[in-house]
Structure 1
Amino acid sequence: MTTVKAIRVHAPGAPDALRYEDVELPPPGPGEAQIRHHAIGVNYIDVYRRSGLYPAPSPFIPGHEGAGEVIAVGEGVEHVKTGDRVAYVDGALGGYAEARNIAAAALVRLPKFLSYEQGAAMMLKGLTAEYLLRRTFKIKKGHRVLVQAGAGGVGQLLCQWASALGAKVIATVGSAEKAAIARRAGADHTILYRDEDFVAKTREFTKGKLCDVVYDGVGRATFPASLDCLKPFGMFVSYGSASGPIAAFDIGLLSQKGSLYATRPSLFSHIADVETYRDMTGEVVDALKRGDISLDAISARPLADAAKVHCDLEARKTTGSIVLTP
């Protein structure tokens, strides 16, 4: 057993439920690798876990994403070896720790041109952007796209990548500062959702044609108005619930608003197949090499400050990606 520092949740609650403490880490089991984290990705799903919206057996260590160095491997592991630089996103919890054991199949080698911080920020957000833009609704040149919360970590990647694919991008944001960030990320138009009617502005920017797709990671606060931004047969893609989950609604609403499509995909469904997971990671790495997306806007904070990071995240004070460093 090795003693490591970690963030644990003993009972769901507010950010102060995140407790920085010692935990015992056993050697990796069969099919597992042990990695020493250099950077740990922070994502809104971590808030859902901590608050109990997405329940997990207590006590637990939150975190689904990270990057670091392999320091030990269990029986039967051939995919990675000690000393490899790796990154991962995985459905299993355990990321908010100095080191962890993880299924070796979840690890991908980190290219030399990417830092550990970029590796940690690349996985969950980058793969989310990949499946949203290339699998859920395949963006093509000329598509009109609305990205809710376009200055966030996933939001910026969606703006960058959709723009590189030739789409016209509209992004909603919460401040003038965030509007500048979204525009730098490739948004053709920005909407200050606190001050402006985003449906009316979307109609104005598209000259009444509306959008082919809406990517919505906000949830309750933007639904059902997001549907009014779609042209007939357009697609509403809900991939997060930063403002709270969308309540049950009459499916007839989709018919009334123009025979719309609506979906709530999950990254973990996509990456359950190892080959698909590796293909998606390859697509993200290729997009980074081409310059279609970038991972420059990363804020690194100490692991011990996880509770403060969650406070800032929930208050929508953050932009871009955040990583924790042990």
Structure 2
Amino acid sequence: MSVMKSFLTATATLGLMAGAAMAEPGLIIDLGGKFDKSFNESAYNGAQRWVEETGGKYLETELASEAQREQTMRRMAERGANPVVVLGFANASTLEKVAPDYPETNFVIVDMVVDQPNVQSVVFSEHEGSYLVGMMAAMASESNTVSFVGGMDVPLIRKFACGYAEGAKAANPDVTVIANMTGTTPAAWNDPVKGGELTRSQISQGADVVFAAAGGTGVGVLQTAADEEILSIGVDSNQNYLHPGSVLTSMVKRVDNAVYDAFQAAADGNLQTGVVVKNLESEGVGVAMDEHNADLVTDEMKAAIDEAMMKIQSGELVVHDYTTDDSCPSLTF
């Protein structure tokens, strides 16, 4: 009987493993849509790259409102998706509640830490990449005034702004940095009209380079900058192509790699839970250089960026992270 019992147990275990291996990953696109030309679109591109390279399939859904977060997460898990990848810090409290109810399902959250045994939390060193583009902004500015337009006023976006200001002042101690947030609700991520209004206000105060970290709202910032003939800086995805010759660079945040890596690790059966930090050294963040901004980036800028990158990677230069103490020495909000 013991031999038969062992055989049945082993067979059942293999069946469960096979089922887990055959599970399709799931991706929940956050508010703003998968074609926001920024954060969500980067995630979508990572999923699509995984499909193209592996021939795999995945389940996908897009949030239409805040009220859908929990229901959508539960529904994705109940459809058998594994892992379930959710995007954005706003999903953290919901995932804290949902993950324990599906202990056999792995979840991956991008942009926040959720301390559950079946959750991988992927976070980025946005302050490091923002420092680099801040240096470039100050070096490109002719007015000695640069600006920042954030989306929702939350610590994560202040982390971008603070790093940007620190980098700008490192390159030019006399530079003025103006910072505005679009709003205090999730609607702030998808309001290009308001983004344009804020940009025009900053231009009236002398800004001639603007960095947008605002999701879909940033499209309005970059458009207005192009219309008003000042320089802009994109975020998350490489947005240089949106307005060639007007976008100085983009602070690239490799959300696409976070999604791709999660899908592939699950397919290989080695998805690790816990915290994963994607920083400058691991190319989780960076500065976009391509044919669209080649005429805007000087050799002096490149040399300064290369030097700063080496110092950050070696630990000689530590960029202040707003989220560690809710303070920003280089900028007043």
Alignment TM class, shorter chain as reference:
0.3 to 0.5
TM-score, normalization by structure 1: 0.38
Structure ranking higher in helix proportion: 2
TM-score, normalization by structure 2: 0.38
Larger Rg: 2
